[in-house]
Amino acid sequence: MNAQEEQLEKKYREIHVNDQLDEKVWINEAPATPFVGENYGANGLPKVLVYGSADFGGEKKSKDNFFPWVHITPVADGSLLTVGRYLLEIFGKEGFSTKSKDFLQQIAVSNYGKFSLTTNKDYARVPKLLEASHLYVLTDLEVLKPDVVILPKSIYGNSFNRLLKNENLSKPAIWTIYQTSAGVINRSIKEQLAKVDRKETGRSGWTQKWIDHSYSVFSRKLEPITNIY
């Protein structure tokens, strides 16, 4: 555990003690702190925080454990890492590794929704339920000071945008995505990379290998995920 993870864990523990959950609604377990790579923000790289949607149970790993295991399924199964790395490619953010394990060490990842419902359902579109995680998300921003936040569009619209406005926080670059779900994005990634003159990368580089090892990826074409706020 590095210094930033230790700081996050301390602050998370304080919030969890002082901000009790309704145990009829939530599984009242201490939330997992973000994974922060050892090279997060190092060597002049932008600080990139990638959010999955919410903790609602279940674990999947990537094929042949190609992607390193962390406590967030869309990261461990490869889908969220693939899309995050793809967006950095599209937007010309250089210096990020095309090796999955090294790339994970250059970013921070977490679930936006920090708790599981007793019904074990996703709640990415329910503002009232997302509010239970606001203090933790604010802590993420305070400690990690991201330059770029990548997160599901539904969570941006139902929670994150209002949180930034209400707290009068400085706004990082925000790239919204669809939630990861089963499907194939091989062709879509190639098409998008070709549009920005990266045909070779899309056809024979890191993308094909990452996609081949991902358990699940986006079920829609990738044009809609490149929203910038």
With a CB cutoff of 8 Å and minimum separation 6, the contacts of 98 are 85, 205, 206
Which residue ranges make up each domain of the chain? Answer: 3-228
pTM of the model: 0.83
Strand order in the sheet with 108-113: 35-36, 108-113, 48-54, 148-152, 173-177, 227-228
**SS3 of 91, please?**
coil
R_g of the chain computed on alpha carbons: 17
The pLDDT-based confidence of 37 (bands split at 50, 70, 90) is very high
At residue 201, the pLDDT reads 44
Q: Are 53 and 129 in contact (CB under 8 A)?
A: no
Task: Pick the range with the lowest mean pLDDT from 1-15, 56-70, 74-88, 166-180.
Answer: 56-70
User: Which CATH class, in words, describes the domain spanning 3-228?
Assistant: alpha beta
The pLDDT-based confidence of 186 (bands split at 50, 70, 90) is very low
Q: What is the mean pLDDT of residues 85-97?
A: 88
Nearest to 142 by CA among 3, 11, 6, 2: 11
Q: Residue 143: in which H helix or E strand, if any?
A: helix 134-144
* Orientation of helix 186-195 relative to helix 79-90, angle to 10°: 10
- At 56, which amino acid appears? F
At residue 42, the pLDDT reads 96
Average pLDDT, the chain: 80
Question: Model confidence over 126-143: pLDDT tens digits?
Answer: 999 999 999 999 999 999
Record the tokens describing residue 227, joined without a space: 């929203």
Tokens 């933790």 locate to 136
Record the tokens describing residue 215, joined without a space: 């358990």
Q: What is the mean pLDDT of residues 97-102?
A: 92
At residue 126, the pLDDT reads 92
Question: Could you say which DSSP state residue 117 is in?
Answer: B
The pLDDT-based confidence of 104 (bands split at 50, 70, 90) is very high
Cα separation, 186 vs 49, whole angstroms? 24
Q: What is the mean pLDDT of residues 194-216?
A: 60
At residue 4, the pLDDT reads 96
